[in-house]
Amino acid sequence: MADTLAKLTTAETSFYPPQGVHYKHVTTWLNFSYMFSALYQHCFQEWDIQYQTDTRGNAYKAIFPALLRSSLPIRSLFPIIFRLCTGHCTLNHHLSRIGLHPDGLCGQCEIPETVEHTIEACPKYLTARKRLKLALNQLGISFHTPEILRSTAAANLVETFVRESGVRL
């Protein structure tokens, strides 16, 4: 692998160095730039092959069936999506299951405060929900919590909903 990367980096001459790189260091910059790019590409391909063939993590794979860099939400969204998908968050329903809330009911609706209730029905989050519905409609994603959470295209919209609504996770 190292030999292949070394040969590729010395053969590549189509990069321009970033502003501020002294001309004496251009060759070094080209080699390192291409080497890191090639190494990243190789590692991602190996990771994708392993992800597709491994038998572990089927619940996670149901949410994110493929590792496509362009479709994966940014890393900071993963905790939000994971907590919503598993229900392990600070909504009252989960808190009551672990003994930290007396009844698990929504303070406004007096029904279990679940992820589905929070995203789809609670009037406390009506304004943020309207924006989420409109944006999902434009993407062709139905307003059904499991489908929303399975869609990598909706990840940023879910994060916006959580931020705008003030939902605690």
Q: What is the pLDDT of residues 112-143, one digit of tens each?
A: 999 999 999 999 999 999 999 999 999 999 99
Residues 120 and 159 in one domain: yes
Highest mean pLDDT: which range of 20-24, 29-33, 149-153: 149-153
**Strand spans (E) along the chain:** none
Residue 29, C-beta contacts closer than 8 angstroms, at least 6 positions apart:
15, 17, 18, 21
Same domain, 83 and 125: yes
Average pLDDT over residues 104-112: 95
Q: Do 28 and 85 share a structural domain?
A: no
Range of the domain at 84: 72-165
Mean pLDDT for 91-104 is 95
Q: Let me know whether 78 and 149 are in one domain.
A: yes
Per-residue confidence band for 17, with pLDDT thresholds at 50, 70 and 90 = very low
> Does pLDDT of 164 surpass 60?
yes
CB 92 within 8 Å of CB 106 = yes
pTM of the predicted model as reported, rounded to 2 decimal places: 0.58
Residue 3 binned pLDDT confidence (cut-offs 50, 70, 90):
low
80 and 160 share one domain: yes
In contact, 17 and 30? CB cutoff 8 Å: yes
State the virtual CA torsion across 129, 130, 133, 137 in degrees, nearest 10: -170
Instruction: Based on the fold, state whether residues 50 and 79 are members of the same structural domain.
Output: no
Length of the chain: 169
Whole-number pLDDT of residue 29: 42
